[in-house]
Amino acid sequence: MIKCANPSEQFKSHQSRIENAVLNVLRSEHFVLGDNVDNLEKEFARYIGTEYAIGVANGTDALELALRALNIGIGDEVITVSHTAVATVAAIEATGATPVLVDINSEFYSIDTTQFKETLSSKTKAIIAVHLYGHAAEIETILKICKEHNIFLIEDVSQAHGAKFKNKRLGSFGDISCFSCYPTKNLGAIGDAGLITTNSAKFNSKIRMLREYGWKNRLSIYPGRNSRLDEIQAAILRVKLEFLEQDNLKRVNIAKFYSEKLKGIDAIELPSIKKDCLHVFHLFVIKLKKRDELIEHLKKDGIFAGVHYPVPVHLQEAYISRVRTSKSMVVTENIVKEILSLPIYPELKKCETEKVIRSIENFFTNEIN
């Protein structure tokens, strides 16, 4: 069986290091917000290239706390995309602000910057730019619009740990940037975890308060949350962070191999990479008309492809009446029927990648016959 993502294989490849790190926590006296969290924050900030990093409980919380740190709440609007993990929108909704969901461009599936501009209102306080699938959104254009209109930029880097634009890591462009470390992500814990990066001392100290009841010296000066990161997850993430560059390179090589072998199949649209970008292939997403038939065919060969995502957030029951959208959502609504995520993770073996390719080739050969 070949899965779309496979965090247990990743555990096996670093097993003794991870087991030792966890044992050290179990035998210590600190279980939440201790030395491992402190060190992870320092190491991650250095890796991303920001002044500060803050550990939190998960990626959704990271986004919610970032918005709260910017004083965003009821009566405000926050722009993002509908073609994203529901978490991006859930975090906005949790603050009381209104999510404004903008269509995506058809080449890279990131926010359509023309429509982004048209959707701005006097209530717009921030944009959450999602770096989907491991690839940068149009960061320069987005930054320019943010400056012109005096709105904050939050990056959602949950799918792009380590990715770059013009040699700078994503997560270092925004006022505040947010990362999920859910097990399947490029930097994944063995449980839930999240990280926030920023260059602002002010936001850094406010987020540190917000993640623990809004406390300063054990008195709440903001209405806060509990979003602490525990030592076990931080210890695991410190081990995995050491291998992130190497693991991302493995993803890139698998992506190159897929692209090389599948480029002859006209019915498949392969992922394209923007100029000046390091894409870290959290997902390898192809587009084709016979998507559902291919999923079934792959399944028969023991290959489990995914769909990220099958239903845009603005069409999901919980959010239909709670979001505003851009005038057109046509790209978002059409591509969900045609996108397919092929298996990709650092431990995926060459013979397994070949098996996936062969299965796809067979699907198209049989179809012609």
Answer yes or no whether residue 284 interacts with ligand PLP by CB under 6 A: no
Pick the closer one to ligand PLP by CB: 25 or 85.
Answer: 85
Of 10, 50, 58, 95, which lies in the binding site for ligand PLP, with binding defined by CB under 6 A? Answer: 58
Q: State the minimum distance, in angstroms, from the CB of residue 331 to ligand PLP.
A: 18
Q: State the minimum distance, in angstroms, from the CB of residue 85 to ligand PLP.
A: 4
Distance from C-alpha of 170 to C-alpha of 156, rounded to nearest angstrom: 9
Residue for token pair 């695991």: 236
Of 5, 54, 56, 130, which lies in the binding site for ligand PLP, with binding defined by CB under 6 A? Answer: 130
β-strand pairing of 339-342 with 98-102:
unpaired
- Whose CB is nearest to ligand PLP? 59
Of 6, 60, 95, 353, which lies in the binding site for ligand PLP, with binding defined by CB under 6 A? Answer: 60
Of 55, 59, 171, 271, which lies in the binding site for ligand PLP, with binding defined by CB under 6 A? Answer: 59
Which positions from 191 to 230 touch ligand PLP by CB under 6 A, shown as an x/- string? -x-x------------------------------------
Of 93, 112, 138, 156, which lies in the binding site for ligand PLP, with binding defined by CB under 6 A? Answer: 156
Which positions from 72 to 111 touch ligand PLP by CB under 6 A, shown as an x/- string? ------------xx-xx-----------------------
Pick the closer one to ligand PLP by CB: 229 or 262.
Answer: 229
Distance from C-alpha of 73 to C-alpha of 135, rounded to nearest angstrom: 29
Pick the closer one to ligand PLP by CB: 283 or 286.
Answer: 283
- Cα Rg of the chain, angstroms: 21
Q: State the minimum distance, in angstroms, from the CB of residue 313 to ligand PLP.
A: 11
Phi, psi values for residue 32, rounded to 5°: -130, 145
Kindly identify the residues of this chain, within the stretch 166-185, that bind ligand PLP according to CB under 6 A. Answer: 180, 182
For the record, the structure tokens of 184 come out as: 């399947």
Pick the closer one to ligand PLP by CB: 137 or 268.
Answer: 137
Distance from C-alpha of 100 to C-alpha of 51, rounded to nearest angstrom: 30
Pick the closer one to ligand PLP by CB: 77 or 192.
Answer: 192
Q: Which stretch binds ligand PLP (CB under 6 A): 24-32, 154-162, 230-238, 333-341?
A: 154-162
Residue 21 CB coordination number (10 Å): 20
Largest CA distance in the chain: 73
Q: State the minimum distance, in angstroms, from the CB of residue 57 to ligand PLP.
A: 8
- Bond before 319 cis per omega within 30 degrees: no
Of 50, 80, 95, 159, which lies in the binding site for ligand PLP, with binding defined by CB under 6 A? Answer: 159
Distance from C-alpha of 271 to C-alpha of 191, rounded to nearest angstrom: 30
Q: State the minimum distance, in angstroms, from the CB of residue 178 to ligand PLP.
A: 7
Interacting residues toward ligand PLP by CB under 6 A: 58-60, 84-85, 87-88, 130, 156, 158-159, 180, 182, 192, 194
